[in-house]
Amino acid sequence: MTRDLDTSTTPAATAPAGAPGTPGGPSEALAGTRDATRRRRTGWRRITVIAAVAGPGLVAANAGNDAAGIATYASAGSQFTYGTLFFMVLVTVALVMVQEMAVRLGAHTGKGLGALIREQFSLRLTALAVLCLLLANTGLVVSEFAGIGAAFELLGVPKWAVVPPAAVLLWALVLFGSYHWAERIFLIMSLAFFAYPVAMILGHPDWGAVGHHLVVPHIEPGKDFVLLAVALIGTTVSPYMQFYAAAGVVDRGAKPADYRLIRMDAVLGAVFACVISLTIIIATASAIGGTGPLDSAAQAARALEPVAGKNAELLFALGLLGASALAGAVVPLSAAYAVGEAAGVERSVSRSFRDAPLFLGLFTAQIVLGATVAMTPVDVIQLLIGTQVLQGLISPVVLVYLLVLTNRRSLLGAAANGPRYRIAATAVVVGVAGMSTVLLVQTVLGWFGAA
């Protein structure tokens, strides 16, 4: 006992070199090994946590780069070369803020955007929000399946041979899988977007001009530029993305303690999606910039021939297929979440048809409608861009709901928007609404021959 006490109180400096407990001794080496092992375990644990929590924000943002988004970005490059790049930088900032607010609501309240609108607003205002989303999503679902058909037509396969099987596969993915499993599939689909940075690099764009247009505003007079600007807003800050992001966080069972990682997922997802959109604009601009709007998916693919050679159509088809398939599931899911939340009924990908008949029934109906209409001889490019203009007109309505909800301390407490964030978010909503209003006024004046 005494010897133990003496050993524990003996100064380390008097102990022989290399003795246990002394600098450089076996105990210190063992402790160092344990510390290193602990750090490695902590690192892997952090990576595991990030992988487990991350998802809804990235999936929602990437879904915005759908068939309609690709068509719109490609048209921006073919019409105005690099002229829309600075505008896209502003849209990127807007998307980051909007998606962050959406996931913050889901994480801190445990409720989706539709449920919160139902609880915090009147029945009429709730109906308006759901109606706007359904109106915007209906054309969008059709465009996604049209995009799947167009992708295969580029490879010589008729759309009637692929659209029905694709619809069945997407339907089965949601109906017979859990949310976690479905989300992993959605993230794998996102890998298709890497086809566009490759196309941009192969295109050898004028990097000086790219850098200039990224930091210097460029505005052109005329309805065409405003129309495309609103379409860019609509395809990048789509209303369904906010509904899906908030609902996805809730469906995954995330808590306020998970918010830091959820926020990281939302911000990085939004930035990644917008970087992809910028590469599509740059790739198209470097190939056929200034030639005017695109008329077909084949023309968009041929635009890459100078940079990708004979593999241009395959490259474009892969990106179009992955984007369309991802959004083909996410878009109808967002509407199903919104309606289920507004109605106060069960809504989850992990539930059976018996447990969530309205949620899964609405999802099924949208899949059937989208695939059926996509089989008709529609003008794919015009349909895709048209749906994005509609999204741009409806976006301000949904963003107002989102802004009001995240401003309410009675709902979020300390997690509500602070004074600076509130000002910035309000500027985003006003900017989007202003662009939409300009387009609406120009359209109405055009009906009377005054624009």
- What average pLDDT score do residues 226-236 get? 80
What's the mean pLDDT in 160-178?
82
Task: Output 361 or 20, whichever has higher pLDDT.
Answer: 361
Residue 307 pLDDT class (50, 70, 90 cuts): low
Q: What is the pTM of this model?
A: 0.73
With cut-offs at 50, 70 and 90, classify the pLDDT of residue 21.
very low
What tens digit of pLDDT does each residue of 311-329 get?
666 767 777 777 777 778 7
Given this model, what pLDDT does residue 303 score? Answer: 60
Instruction: Identify residue 391 by its one-letter amino acid code.
Output: Q
pLDDT of residue 270: 87
> Cα separation of 198 and 312, whole Å?
11
**Predicted local confidence at residue 384, as pLDDT:** 63
CB 24 within 8 Å of CB 17: yes
Q: 212 pLDDT band (50/70/90 cuts)?
A: very high
Spatial distance between the Cα atoms of 230 and 234, rounded to a whole number of angstroms: 6
Tokens of 103: 């996931």
pLDDT at 327: 78
Whether the predicted pLDDT of 91 surpasses 70: yes
pLDDT the model gives residue 403: 93
Position with higher pLDDT, 253 vs 267: 267
Other C-beta atoms closer than 10 Å to the C-beta of 133 total 26
Which positions ≥6 away from 14 have C-beta within 8 Å? none
Say if CB 289 and CB 78 are below 8 A apart.
Answer: yes
Mean of pLDDT values over 2-12: 40
Q: Give alpha helix (H) positions in 176-238.
A: 179-189, 195-202, 207-215, 223-236
Q: Scanning the structure block, which residue is given the tokens 């396969």?
A: 157
For residue 103, give the H/E element and its range: helix 85-109
Q: Residue 432 to residues 115, 269, 439, 444, 449: CA-CA distances in angstroms?
A: 24, 21, 11, 19, 26
8 Å CB contact between 93 and 306? no
Question: Which of 44-58, 113-127, 129-143 is predicted least confidently?
Answer: 44-58
pLDDT of residue 406: 94
Residue 423 has pLDDT above 90, yes or no: yes
What is the average pLDDT across 412-420? 91
> What pLDDT is recorded for position 112?
86
Contact 351, 193 (CB under 8 A): no
Residue 336: both structure tokens together? 């199903």
Average pLDDT over residues 426-437: 83
Q: What percent of the chain has pLDDT over 70?
A: 71
> By mean pLDDT, which of 101-105, 227-231, 388-392 is the weakest?
388-392
Considering the chain, what percentage of its residues have pLDDT values greater than 90? Answer: 10
pLDDT tens per residue, range 173-188: 777 766 566 666 766 6
Please report the domains of the chain, with CATH numbers, ordered by start residue.
58-447 (1.20.1740.10)
Higher pLDDT, 169 or 140: 169
pLDDT digits (tens, 9 = 90+) for 340-377: 888 878 777 767 778 888 888 888 998 998 888 888 77
Q: What is the mean pLDDT of the chain?
A: 76
Q: What angle do CA 189, 190, 191 make, to 5 degrees?
A: 90
Contacts of 288 (CB under 8 A, 6+ apart): 77, 78, 303
Strongest mean pLDDT among 4-8, 128-132, 220-224, 435-439 = 128-132
Between the CA of residue 92 and those of 65, 131, 150, 236, 237, what are the distances in Å? Answer: 13, 26, 28, 8, 9
| DSSP type of residue 16 | P
